């Protein structure tokens, strides 16, 4: 039982959190046939590329500022309902552009959802703008530029998601330079679909304070030590890793080994309904599948707040709530 524990989430893609029932009602509203991607209340995909395709199709049924406000408010209300005090949402202005809404209206809708959720539950949230590798390096630079110039206090970080096999980290270095110069927190998907080399590349080229997943660092003992020595925080999403077959089962998942080796880890849900999970379930897995006690789980939650992309006053206030 982890329902009594306060929770923090640093790694969740906004469109990836879309409840299937909401997606279906949105699809009906716009007369979009989503039946190849959503059937019997379940998102349909079978491997990593088809998951990304499904994600992009689902995103297309959220078309207006209000749609995005509703999606954001809905997800944050769910998080607040299970005792979550802080959430970082990964948002992709490119998805806003692709449906013709535009990046500003997309972010404005998400911001409105954050304000509504905070007013009703007190949950604090920030945004991490992401580039998507499968939209190409130019679009990733565009996303970094957008985040750097947005001058929006809710946008506090920059990420790189999408198909990790597309290009090497060095191909995206300029985007991270732009984000770093703008004072944004840096995190990057690495060591999920690709192996340890992708995590080493990331440390060599970007030196982010956090890495999304990073779990395949376990394939290289020296790299695990390097992560521990550098204090790099891994945003670990066990349910996602099993659903995407990064590891065959929870017994072979390296979360416990990484923590024991001194690597800083936190728990998140990534794209919860796509992976038949939720932040609630991820915390339960920490207890039941990985055998962590309350103290160890609290430690991972605290690590999340210590690594959060927030101003120091907000961090102190949130740590006080733990």
Q: Give the binding site for Zn ion (CB under 5 A).
A: 270
**Judged by CB under 6 A, which of 9, 10, 16, 305 binds ligand ADE?**
16
The active-site residue, picked from 9, 192, 235, 282, is 192
Residue 73: CB partners within 8 Å, gap ≥ 6?
112, 113, 114, 116, 117
CB of 174 to ligand ADE, least distance (A): 20
For helices 279-288 and 294-306, angle between their N-to-C axes, nearest 10 degrees: 130
Tokens of 277: 């999970």
Query: Per CB under 6 A, does 238 bind ligand ADE?
Result: no
CB closer to ligand ADE, 16 vs 238 = 16
User: In 10 A of CB 294, how many CB atoms?
Assistant: 13
CB of 205 to ligand ADE, least distance (A): 18
Query: Per CB under 6 A, does 13 bind ligand ADE?
Result: yes
Residue 75 contact partner, candidates Zn ion, ligand ADE, none, CB within 5 to 8 A by sort of partner: none
Q: Which residue is nearest to ligand ADE (CB)?
A: 161
Tokens of 43: 């998102």
Go through 10-19 and write b for each residue having 16 or more CB atoms within 10 A of its CB, e for each that does not: bbbbbbbbbe
Subset of residues 260 to 279 that bind ligand ADE, contact rule: CB under 6 A: 270-271
Query: Per CB under 6 A, does 60 bind ligand ADE?
Result: no
Residue 295, class by beta-carbon neighbours within 10 Å (0-12 exposed, 13-18 middle, 19+ buried)? Answer: exposed
Number of residues lying near ligand ADE (CB under 6 A) = 10
CB of 47 to ligand ADE, least distance (A): 12
Per-residue interface string for the shown chain with ligand ADE, residues 276-295, x marking contact by CB under 6 A: --------------------
**Judged by CB under 6 A, which of 2, 159, 240, 269 binds ligand ADE?**
240
CB closer to ligand ADE, 85 vs 190 = 190
Phi, psi values for residue 239, rounded to 5°? -60, -40
Q: How far is CA 157 from CA 179, 208, 210, 219, 294, in A?
A: 8, 11, 11, 28, 29
Per-residue interface string for the shown chain with ligand ADE, residues 159-198, x marking contact by CB under 6 A: --xx--------------------------x--x------
Q: Is 160 left (phi over 0), alpha (psi -120 to 50) or beta?
A: beta
Phi, psi values for residue 177, rounded to 5°? -60, -45
Q: Residue 111 carries which DSSP code?
A: H
192 is catalytic: yes
Residues near ligand ADE (CB under 6 A) are 13, 16, 55, 161-162, 189, 192, 240, 270-271
Active-site residue set: 192
């Amino acid at each position: 039982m982890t329902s009594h524990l306060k929770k923090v989430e640093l790694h969740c893609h906004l469109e990836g959190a879309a409840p299937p029932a909401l997606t279906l009602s949105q699809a009906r509203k716009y007369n979009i046939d989503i039946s190849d991607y959503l059937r019997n209340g379940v998102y349909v995909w079978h491997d990593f590329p088809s998951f990304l395709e499904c994600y992009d199709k689902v995103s297309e049924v959220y078309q207006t500022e209000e749609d995005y406000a509703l999606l954001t408010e809905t997800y944050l209300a769910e998080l607040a309902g299970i005792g979550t005090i802080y959430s970082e949402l990964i948002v992709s202005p490119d998805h806003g552009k692709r449906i013709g809404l535009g990046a500003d209206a997309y972010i404005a809708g998400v911001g409105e959802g954050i304000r509504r959720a905070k007013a009703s539950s007190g949950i604090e949230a920030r945004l991490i703008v992401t580039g998507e590798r499968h939209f190409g390096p130019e679009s990733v630079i565009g996303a970094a530029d957008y985040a750097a110039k947005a001058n929006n206090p809710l946008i506090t970080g920059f990420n790189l998601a999408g198909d990790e096999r597309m290009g090497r980290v060095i191909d995206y270095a300029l985007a991270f330079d732009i984000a770093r110069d703008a004072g944004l927190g840096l995190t990057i998907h690495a060591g999920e679909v690709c192996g340890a080399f992708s995590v080493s590349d990331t440390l060599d080229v970007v030196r982010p304070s956090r890495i999304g997943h990073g779990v395949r660092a376990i394939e290289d003992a020296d790299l695990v030590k390097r992560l521990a020595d550098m204090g790099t925080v891994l945003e670990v999403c066990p349910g996602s890793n099993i659903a995407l077959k990064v590891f065959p089962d929870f017994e072979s998942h390296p979360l416990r080994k990484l923590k024991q080796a001194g690597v800083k880890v936190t728990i998140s849900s990534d794209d919860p309904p796509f992976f038949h999970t939720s932040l609630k379930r991820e915390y339960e897995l920490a207890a039941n599948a990985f055998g962590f006690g309350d103290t160890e789980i609290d430690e991972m939650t605290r690590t999340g707040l210590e690594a959060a992309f927030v101003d120091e006053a907000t961090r102190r206030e949130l740590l006080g709530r733990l």
